[in-house]
Structure 1
Amino acid sequence: MFQRNVFFPQHLEEKIKDHKILEVLYEEARSNILNGRYPCEVIHYIMLGGIQARIELGPYNPLVHSTHYFREEQTKFLPIHVRKSSTWTWLPISSKNSAEVRLLEQFKRIPNSATNRKLMKKYLEFCWSLPFYGSAFFEGQIEQPVRGLPSLITHQDIPVLVAINSKGMYIIDDIQCVVLLGLRFEEFSWEYARPSKEGDPNCLPCLFVQFMVVENGARVSKILQVFSRQASLMDNLIVFFVNQLKSKSNDETDKSLDNQVNNENETHSSLIMTSVHSTTLPSLSNKLSRLTLATFDEDGHCIGQMGSWSISY
């Protein structure tokens, strides 16, 4: 399968007219949707599944395309966390809010006159609106917050996908298919760290990610540790896009971006708790309660630790 070049500008992709190229882009976007790499709302998964079904099945045929049909075939059109559990497919009825019923209704709404070309473009237009579209994906893990004794006993790291594109970095829960943290490059600083025990296969390299939030009316910085054998690749890709962003800002007559984008030495220096490289607060929806974070005030004092951070300070 072809893979989209993460370095290709999205604004140029959106101008592509060649049907063969659009078809390849659609195939990759569909794969990322079905595999949960592009998290979105259930209603959007249903909408995209209906478009995909129309492309692959043709116009609605009431003699073939029943609720039962989509109950049996929903694995082709919906990601696993959206579709009905396979353990209940033997039931003869479906509720009106079930995935297969909603998928069928969406499928029926598409007019017979709609062409595959237009439907693929519609599918891509939605995917283009996702902030993490076109990302390179890296496998990693983060520490799970400990809440109470039962959580401590069953404590395990959370597998995540780290998505990086020309806009920023996104930490995605690989099981629940939800964005835990999304940051534009001007909203965070980072540091790559080698494993403390080079010869230990269970000791992974990591990225420290630092960003600003407002907590109880005060500006504080949070630090997240992402473990991954691909951490150095993430680091190199972030460096490339940050340098690209710097170059663009220097070429523009409007210099307002210069205050948002740090120079390479500041952005990629060792993680110093007494300074915050970015003054911009994250604008994307984040789920900080699901993350194990260290918290520092504006003077660089550690005022909160979770998980293994509690051992470090």
Structure 2
Amino acid sequence: MIIRKEEVWLLLQPCHVLRMCLCICLDPFAFWLCSPLLELQLKPRHQPYKLCRQWQDLLYRFTEASEDDISQDEPYIQYRRNVFYPKSKELQIEDETVLRLLYEEARSNVLSGRYPCDPEHWAGLGALSLALEEGAGLDSQQATAKIREKKLSSFVPAHVAMGSGGFFSTLRGKSSRQAELEQKLSEEYRKISTSTGTSAEPRQLLHQYLSMCHILPYYGCAFFCGEIDKPVQGILQRGKRKAVSVGICLDGVYVMDVKEKHVLLGLCFSELSWDHSYPEEEGDSHILWLEFDGEEDGTPVNKLLKIYSKQAELMSGFIEFCVELKSASEGGVAAETGSEAGVSQERAVPEASTRNGRGGRRGMLQRQSSVVCSRIHSLNTISYVDNGEHIQCWGKKNPKERFLAFVFVFQVKKSNA
């Protein structure tokens, strides 16, 4: 979206007025103020111009960027997917222009690695992109030729197209890997041609692409930057941290490894408790605490994951808003039905809330090989057991970290009282 100089006055208007003036009152989308350092979805009452004037203050508050980076950073306005728009409504959209906008955003997130995908997933999505650009009527040779012409990075995530590198990758040869990826895309493209026909309409392919993206639990998330402790494997590794991306949406919270492009922890709201803490001393970090159920030597325990981030306050508030919004929407569905199903759902909501947000036992999370599934074994967490009389805590030898863990646990207990 480009705003001409004579239309700059629009930026002084609240977002809901700006949408009406530009005739783009589409529910699936919202205005975002973005830069390489920070991304914020604007509320209807926000005035983009005023936030742009306050951008440096926001960067100092919510990022670890240097003064030089902050002074040179300039935000820009994007019109992109609304985090609070339900995925179920997307597939009801028939307007091809709207579907195309959703597709372009999803495709960008897949190719950049923001949405981690398994091989069969990114191959299917890449083949659909080829079908949308070139039609579904190409034969195998034509499809391979188009893939080579446009380059693999146009159809598969960047880290997949480049490869992991290393000694064995060098021995195997870049051309061999490229030929394998091209063949995989060509095979997936042939499956699409067979299932949809050579004259498939773009709208049908766009729906199919978005449907595949909906399988990814973090589709449509707002993303935040942070770090977590690396597991201690020796004296030399103590104090090291790993960069993570934290995705939050109406379905839950997802912590992803920025380098390895896979999920470290994925939790529905009914599976977690959360809080955030401010720095107590100079040099300390803002922390988002996530509590979930796990296991320690065969014993069920509560686990605490610390996410260091200046955006911890933003993340905590965002989680709380999503939980309230989800609870309100579920309550509204139950009220509309007025049937036994509605009554049973109303009874289920309080039960879910006792497991949600502030304590209670939850179902165990299972480790799986897919990039989408949690890797709890690779997390450096604090584990504790609360038997009602005292708390047994282990996993951290630092007295200060143990104390912070106890503070979080007692806050949870107090809020449940």
TM-score scaled by length of structure 2:
0.64
2:185 counterpart residue number: 103
Deviation of the 1:151 alpha carbon:
3.9
Matched AA of 1:169: V
Q: 2:87 aligns with which of 10, 13, 22?
A: 10
Indicate the SS of the match to 2:188.
Answer: helix
Mapped partners of 1:308, 1:38: distance in 2: 35
Q: 1:209 aligns with which of 279, 290, 302?
A: 290
- 1:143 and 2:220 equivalent? no
Deviation of the 1:119 alpha carbon:
1.2
For the 8 Å contact 1:186–1:278, the answer to whether it is kept is: no
Indicate the SS of the match to 2:316.
Answer: helix
Greater relative contact order, per chain length (Cα 8 Å cut-off, separation 6+)? 1
Q: 1:249 to 1:92 in 2, by over 3 A?
A: closer
Mapped partners of 2:271, 2:384: distance in 1: 16
Matched AA of 2:323: V
For the 8 Å contact 1:187–1:212, the answer to whether it is kept is: yes
2:409 counterpart residue number: none
Q: 1:250 to 1:2 in 2, by over 3 A?
A: closer
Indicate the SS of the match to 1:260.
Answer: helix
Q: 1:249 to 1:56 in 2, by over 3 A?
A: closer
Matched AA of 1:233: L
Matched AA of 1:160: V
Mapped partners of 2:134, 2:394: distance in 1: 55
- 1:304 and 2:394 equivalent? yes
Q: 1:290 to 1:166 in 2, by over 3 A?
A: same
Q: For residues 113-136 of structure 1, what are the alpha-carbon distances to aligned partners after superposition, in whole Å with 9 as ceiling and x for unaligned?
A: 222221111110011122222111
- 1:79 and 2:157 equivalent? yes
Deviation of the 1:311 alpha carbon:
5.8
Deviation of the 1:13 alpha carbon:
2.3
Which structure has the greater CA radius of gyration?
2
Q: 1:95 to 1:174 in 2, by over 3 A?
A: closer
- 1:187 and 2:271 equivalent? yes
1:38-117 matched pairs, under 5 angstroms? 38-58=115-135, 59-60=137-138, 65-66=143-144, 69-70=147-148, 73-85=151-163, 93-94=175-176, 98-111=180-193, 112-117=198-203
Q: 1:147 to 1:79 in 2, by over 3 A?
A: same
Deviation of the 1:286 alpha carbon:
1.9
For the 8 Å contact 2:269–2:357, the answer to whether it is kept is: no
Q: 1:94 to 1:309 in 2, by over 3 A?
A: farther
For the 8 Å contact 1:294–1:302, the answer to whether it is kept is: no
How many positions carry a matched residue from both structures? Answer: 298
Matched AA of 1:50: A
1:227 counterpart residue number: 308
Mapped partners of 1:289, 1:249: distance in 2: 33
Question: What is the root-mean-square deviation of aligned Cα atoms in Å?
Answer: 3.1
Deviation of the 1:39 alpha carbon:
1.7
1:280 counterpart residue number: 362
Q: Any unmatched runs of 5+ in structure 2?
A: 1-77, 335-342, 367-372, 404-417
Deviation of the 1:150 alpha carbon:
5.5
For the 8 Å contact 1:189–1:209, the answer to whether it is kept is: yes
Where is the helix percentage greater, Structure 1 or Structure 2?
2
Matched AA of 1:183: L
Identity %: 30
TM-score scaled by length of structure 1:
0.83
Matched AA of 2:232: V
Deviation of the 1:204 alpha carbon:
3.0
Mapped partners of 2:295, 2:174: distance in 1: 51
- 1:30 and 2:107 equivalent? yes
For the 8 Å contact 1:262–1:278, the answer to whether it is kept is: yes
Mapped partners of 1:92, 1:245: distance in 2: 47
Q: 1:177 aligns with which of 261, 274, 278?
A: 261
For the 8 Å contact 2:252–2:266, the answer to whether it is kept is: yes
1:123 counterpart residue number: 209
Indicate the SS of the match to 2:305.
Answer: strand
1:196 counterpart residue number: 280
Q: For residues 170-216 of structure 1, what are the alpha-carbon distances to aligned partners after superposition, in whole Å with 9 as ceiling and x for unaligned?
A: 1011111111001111111111111233xx5x643110111112444
Deviates more, 1:54-63 or 1:228-237: 54-63
Matched AA of 1:213: G
Deviation of the 1:248 alpha carbon:
4.4
Q: 1:117 to 1:246 in 2, by over 3 A?
A: closer
1:167 counterpart residue number: 251
